[in-house]
Amino acid sequence: MNNKEWESIFNIFYPKKLEYQDNKHLFTKIAFDLFSSNSSPVKSLWILEDGEDGKQYLSATYETEDQSLEATGSWSTMANKEASMVVLYYKGYPIHKFNKEQFGFDNSNVHLFQNMINKKANSDNNFIKEVINSQNKEKQEIILQQFPELAN
């Protein structure tokens, strides 16, 4: 079998996109627009996206190989030793703390959560706006004063 045939088989068993309304009972919300499958044997997170047809879809972010976490832009993440918290940093400045009680990660999957937050922060301005808006007014002002580029 060639690569395209293997890919089509993989897509049957592990689809990359699902309609949210029909499948929401199969997922658990992790953070903002991030979800995890309740029963998938593939470790992945799913992103809730608006489709061109007006429906919402969950898009998979399958990892094909283990990769060490590294900053790919101005944003980075770090988990504490106990894997009870992941901190999102902008240019080395802590912006937001994600705790395991609220977002459901643990020692076995904190790296997936950390990787997804890192990718979202470096590629999704709306996600950053949500994170900043979730802070109290005082912290929002401090962040935006120190990093005015985040106001856009």
Interior CA angle at 120 toward 115 and 125, to 5°?
160
Separation of CA 24 from chain center:
17
The per-residue DSSP string of 50-106 comes to E-TTS-EEEEE---SS------SSSEEEEE-TTSSEEEEEETTEEEEEEEHHHH---
| Whole-prediction pTM | 0.56
22/2 Cα distance (integer angstroms): 32
Residue 86 in tokens:
């992941």
Question: What's the length of the chain?
Answer: 152
Of the candidates 151, 152, 149, the one whose C-alpha atom is nearest the C-alpha of residue 74 is 149
The model's pLDDT over 36-93, given as tens digits with 9 standing for 90+, comes to 776 654 556 788 989 889 999 988 775 543 333 444 578 988 888 788 898 999 998 9
Token readout for 63 is 């990892």
pLDDT: is 80 or 136 the higher one?
Answer: 136
Quote the pLDDT of residue 66: 35
Beta bridge partners, 35, equal: 29, 46
